[in-house]
Amino acid sequence: MLGDRIGVAGTSLRRLIGLLGRRSLGPGTGLLIIPSQAIHTVAMRFPIDVVFVDGHWRVIHLRPAMAPFRMTGFHWKARCVLELPSGVIAQTSTMIGDQLSVVENSPYPAKQRSVSAHGSSIKSHAEEYLKSEEID
């Protein structure tokens, strides 16, 4: 499991704020940014693992241990980006091509999700967003 307390940044304001102001990401936490094709760690205080995901919830790019004050390139086929504590990609053996599963696990629907690699079921407001997009 990549995380069991994954927040969702689905609004412009939430995407703008992202993880700014946090001192770290605890085990099992993270942020799913929807939509997103690139991210930065400007003004962040700690490294993060970054997983780019396409419209079918497949991993299309990985950026482990991305240091503060860096920018990723654009990944045009990405529909969202998952920001995780540094080391999670290696600990979970997540690889390009893995299929992610996103499952609701909070009484507050837009607040937390569980995300697993290699799964197949998807149940979240994130799925609704991706279904509304034309995906090739």
Residue among 49, 44, 5, 53 nearest 27 (CA)? 5
Contact 72, 39 (CB under 8 A): yes
Confidence of residue 124 (pLDDT cuts 50, 70, 90): very low
Report d(CA 11, CA 3) in Å as an integer: 21
For residue 92, the surrounding DSSP H or E stretch is helix 88-92
pLDDT at 105 over 80: no
Confidence of residue 109 (pLDDT cuts 50, 70, 90): very low
Q: Within 10 A of 65 (CB to CB), how many other CB atoms are there?
A: 13
Is the omega angle on the peptide bond into residue 35 within 30 degrees of 0, that is, cis? yes
pTM of the entire structure?
Answer: 0.80
User: Which pLDDT score, from 0 to 100, does residue 116 have?
Assistant: 63
Containing structural domain, residue 71: 3-132
Report d(CA 80, CA 62) in Å as an integer: 12
Confidence of residue 133 (pLDDT cuts 50, 70, 90): very low
Instruction: Provide the residue type at 21 as one letter.
Output: G
Instruction: Provide the residue type at 106 as one letter.
Output: S
Report d(CA 120, CA 73) in Å as an integer: 28
Query: Residue 125 maps to which CATH number?
Result: 2.60.120.1140
Instruction: Provide the residue type at 34 as one letter.
Output: I
For residue 14, the surrounding DSSP H or E stretch is helix 12-17
Taking residues 53-77, what's their average pLDDT? 96
Question: How many domains in the chain?
Answer: 1
